[in-house]
Homo-oligomer: A and B are copies of this chain.
Amino acid sequence: MNLHAVVLCGGRGERFWPKSRRALPKQFIALFGRESLTQETSDRVRPLCPTARQLFVAPAEFEKVLRRQLGANARLVFEPLGRNTAPAIGLAAEYLKHEDPDATMLVLPADHLIEDGAAFLKAVRLGAQLAQDGMLVTFGIRPERADTGYGYVQLGKRIAGKDRLAAHRVQAFKEKPSPARARAYLAAGNYVWNSGMFIWRVDAILSAFEQFMPALYAELEAFGRTVGTRRQKAALARLYRKTPAISIDYAVMEKADNVACVRGAFDWDDVGSWLALARHIKPDHADNVANGVLVARNSSHCIVDSDAGVIAALGVKDLVIVRAGDAVLVADKDALAHIKPLLADVAALPHARRFL
């Protein structure tokens, strides 16, 4: 089995403004240490996929930062524009098929945090076994809370593994639930978070495209025939002009019946907002967490990230305080969902580009 990692590096990371900027979105910043989430993803999978079998799919504008973070040997594929996960995965599959028709393909978003790399690799190995039988395998995460921000997978019959690390048939994919439904999923025990990580053989995923997205499949194949030729660049542009923006879940996974889910025994966080810091940084006695120097008095449950100097908090709670370069964000935790309209206001400032 030739296992290749495909790392999806799209995403604008607006929810981490001002630390993330248009030119350096979340997946390229070091939120939890010295390395970016993309670098950590690369390191984590390297025991199974050496650099030569890692493929990074990214918007073209990030070439420089990817080269800087991953080194000159990193294999990069650039999307002309973002079209969600299905086209990116199809594109990667065509590249891999060209190199190695027998390839097995592990799909990893670049911006997830997994601290127990060994447990993660065990789950990947189990998934890879199932992939050899032609299954489309998704990785599910045992839910820690009734989170309404994730999709869920309802597990069916167990088909491999046991106890903490097992694979199941998928009974159903579930959209992001209401709070009540999320609590019911948590209580039921046979629901897991849909992590957005997958493993399958290249021929299996392309067959699924052929079956469920025939128009996109035709475009992908047309592109695939140009890989390694002079026509490749024009074909890529044509592919992205024609393809809809669609997720792999919606395009394929929810429709296919050869779908399995590996329920991993590893921690996982998709680092969806600043609130993720509170889950991974040791809090002080008042449940404040900080990247950088924080002095807090009569303040609690704050999340601080600062690239310079000192942040002093006095008599405040439940705030997110971020200092990054020339911008400072002070937000109530419950207001973080409104970062997009805030950034629209910032974009309306004179000389706004320096802030975005």
Contact = CB atoms under 8 A, between A and B. Distances in A.
A32 to B, nearest CB: 22
Contact of A335 (B293, B309, B314, B355): B314
Contacts of A306: 328
Contact of A312 (B316, B330, B334): B330
Contact of A327 (B309, B315, B319): B309
A336 B310 CA distance: 18
A192 interface: no
A161 to B, nearest CB: 44
A323 interface: yes
A338 B312 CA distance: 12
Given A293-B349, A295-B349, A309-B355, A342 B314 contact: yes
Contacts of A326: 308-310
A323 B18 CA distance: 15
Question: What's the dominant secondary structure at chain A's contact region?
Answer: strand
B316 A332 contact: yes
B328 A311 contact: yes
B315 A332 contact: yes
A309 B328 contact: yes
Interface residues of A, number: 37
Contact of A338 (B295, B297, B321, B334): B297
Contacts of A118: none
Given A338-B298, A345-B297, A331 B309 contact: no
Given A315-B338, A319-B316, A330-B319, A355 B297 contact: no
A158 B297 CA distance: 49
B342 A310 contact: no
Interface string A10-29: 00000000100000000000
Contact of A328 (B297, B321, B336): B321
Contacts of A341: 297
Given A295-B342, A298-B335, A345-B295, A323 B312 contact: no
Contacts of A338: 297-298, 314-315
Nearest to A347: B295
Nearest to A17: B312
A18 B315 CA distance: 16
List 3 A-B pairs, minimum CB-CB distance, nearest first: A315-B335, A309-B326, A315-B332
16 contacts: A306-B328, A309-B325, A310-B346, A311-B328, A312-B327, A312-B331, A312-B345, A314-B329, A314-B330, A314-B331, A314-B335, A314-B338, A315-B335, A316-B335, A319-B330, A323-B323
